[in-house]
Structure 1
Amino acid sequence: MTVVTCRYWGGAKAAAGTESELVAATTLAGVMAEITRRRPADRRFSDVVDACSVLVEGVAVGSRDPASVQLRTRTTVEFLPPFAGG
């Protein structure tokens, strides 16, 4: 079983209600489905995650198809919401 660590920053952390969690998934699409499934009634969480930049092992995923991003055990997936300021 592939287990990855999801880390949330800023507003994503507040919406998730946790700083991090473990998720069993082999692709980024699987991670997204599972973390959303865990919060079925929380539309705010889904909206925040959809707006986030996603990093896998510190590398931005960008516009890649989440189903094409393969994950290994102990991979870290980070969700960074847009930041304001300058």
Structure 2
Amino acid sequence: GDVAHLSSAAGVRHVERNDGPGPLTFLQMWLAPLESGGEPSYTVVPGIADSTPYALPAAGAMLHVRRLGEGERTALPDAVRLYVHV
């Protein structure tokens, strides 16, 4: 899938909608920046590969995506804070 990164900075207006006829599934994460301010920005990384980490240095975070089949396991990153969405 794709990763869309929106930094709202001082504020933005945006809408999430499906442009195609098929169903759309997405997960939205809200992360606070380490320092306030800056300019709004929007980036899309199309087709990010499974197990490819995506760095968000302004938030001091790293996103990891894993797509596991039935019965599969994966190791979790060693981190002070960790959020897992199943």
Same fold by TM-score greater than 0.5: no
Q: Which has the larger radius of gyration?
A: 2
TM-score by length of 2: 0.27
Higher helix share: 1
TM-score by length of 1: 0.27
Higher strand share: 1
